[in-house]
Structure 1
Amino acid sequence: MTLRATLQARLAERRERGLYRQLKTLEAAPSPTAVVDGRSMVAFSSNDYLGLACHPQVIAAQQEGARLGAGATASHLVNGHLQIHEALQEEIAAATGREAALVFSSGYAANMGTICALIGRGDSIVSDKLNHASLIDGARLSRAESLRFAHSDTAALARQLQRARNTGGNTLVAVDGVYSMDGDCAPLAEIAGLCREHDAWLMVDEAHGFGLMGSEKLPVAGSAAAMGLTGEDAPILMGTLGKAAGNAGAFVAGSRELIDYLVQFARTYIYTTGMPPAVASGALAALQVMQREPERQQRLRNNIDRFRRGAAERGLPLGDSTSPIQPLLLGCDQTVMRVAAELATQGFLVGAIRPPTVPVGTARLRITLSAAHDPAQITALLAALDSALEDAGALSTGSSEVRP
């Protein structure tokens, strides 16, 4: 069969299964209103949790950073490492309470490069079954023995850690701090304890925790800090700059030795062009704003509480999440698409998430909240959800269709 015929057949199969993905075109980043395919909508699908993507100081910093060049012109190790990258790394290290940090072009690159640099044949990687795709793919490409455990099941993790210990080699445990589709937090304190017991290294993906939570001393460091973990407990910390920071790129933070090691061995860092200076400048400004304006975190928490209270009053089948990610679990792929389409007609952009992004039978609306949403927008979304779910016949059956 020709390449074109093969592609056409596979695309047709995806359409028949109702899993075909289509791009939406926005005129600008949602703030949180957006013009989508020519229509004005309120976006509840963005990861701009603190509303920094359109912050005037962040945009001004990006524009000033562009004066340093449209691009870094080469990989960091050739001649693409600028003073603005160094300043950003120092700010990240301080914000996370780590000795050093290293910026990557994306969270996917950071996870893949770090995992493959740290472990290989003869080693083991133990992963939560609901880990982000970048952690899953990093585990596959590392060629280490890949062991998985049921979501946040620490007893299952302990069994896998014992298996890994029996086979010898080094063991890396990789988990999301906050899970991107369920919005729940990993039991990091228990996981860190098991890692100490079994001499394993803990890697925490803080893509959806960095900037939003932390400790009194490190208020934006992420879920690991919020649960009291130190750099010894979680020696490998990955975070993104395209979510709470509203920019792009990612970082790994840890000991000075870890960062020096990744500069030598992380192929996704070594063999790619450096982050554009405008992005580094904007991300640096965003980190400074989020630390200078803790009221953004408080507004976000208030919005999460407001949404969950309203959803509970209406009996909506929400997942158990206190993060900005609020999954409305419907189970049926077709129902999710119908409800999302109805919400769009009422002026709300909400993500409809289906397999293979989530397990079969767990399709959901992925509603994300931001500090930039006002109470009236949240109230209006709840009313629209009520009517859309009723029209789709999902209010009485949604909760029974999802996994426990």
Structure 2
Amino acid sequence: MAVKTVVRAESRWFKPLATTPRHVFVPRWWTRATAGGEPVWELRDGASDTDAWLRDAYADTTLVTRIGPHHADHAQAGQPLTRSRERRSTSSSTLPSLVLMMYRAAFITDTSRLLVTCGSGYGTALACARLREELVTSVDVDPYLVQAARKRLAEAGHHPRVEVCDLTGALPEGTYDRIISTVAVPTVPVSWLEALAPDGRLVTTIADTGLVIVADKTPDGGAVGHVKLEAAGFMSARHGEDYDDTFPENPPLWQTVQHADGESITTGRYPLTYVPDTWDLRSTLELEMPGIDHRQHTAHDGTRTIYMLHADGSWARATATGRKDSPTVHQGGPRRLWDQLDRIRTWLVVDGDLPIHGAKVTITPDGAATFSRRGWSSTIIGATSMLNP
């Protein structure tokens, strides 16, 4: 049933999707649940509940397989993990339709030498079912995931090259016609550009945004392409057992943003919106002001409060009673975060969309990526961004 909802029978991806046993790659997984009124990650074991295993494995949904350093394969049943800002999901089996969207954007041919990200190994299996397995290289930073993926790929009849590798560093030796990443990166690593064949194509998402970029290598060693109109969200690339940049649950600034009046008290121009729920606002704001921590709270009487925190000490708190009411906004620190959000929302109201929609992407050989459209541009270099209004 999942195959029919993702691809048509005449698609070249129909047979790979129909014949790849996804349940082999996800024998255990984490799901969101509550325990004692608190949000938790609860373990699911396929062998203990085959109906749930097959239902979830063959649904078009993402299955989380690792929380922080805790892999579902090694977890103890009946011992849920508390969900918190410091305990993020670190690996998963991406929903099939999203994997195929990334693969289709790459315009894979029958002879394409492919480098893909590994995770559970399911996406790698799809690539092997579409191409000769010797054309497929798959990488992951986690040695256990690589070991498990090799074993499960072999069970499914595939033996591609699978290597332990930090995706943002040196890649396995070779030249690739397509590099497709289902983990998000701060910007395009130089190693990708060096490993891409002439006219090769890369497809990836940018960390902390919903942006999918598709770019073809240029003769100067850079790449040029565009932002896809479809949005996608992937886990960010990590460099070890867990993320080392998670915004803490209760930083000192958190006490300030909850209670202080701040240097600015105004009435917001628009009703409340929670930025992470809106990919275009989130993506544009992240390009212009990287690293904002977004939080929200709803009181028993229905009053909603949105919080924005930044490591430079900037913060904003916006509160409104009704869904359509303009919020009271308190701001402090060196920058006015809510004012910038309202400025972006005004672009959306006036123009009907944001310039990030379908923007041109130009990547220099050193990995700096510039997004541009209709006189607007923004450049990201590693974890920094430079706005050119």
**TM-score for the superposition, normalised by structure 2:** 0.29
The structure showing larger relative contact order (alpha-carbon pairs under 8 Å, at least 6 residues apart) is 1
**TM-score for the superposition, normalised by structure 1:** 0.28
Structure whose residues are more often strand by fraction: 2
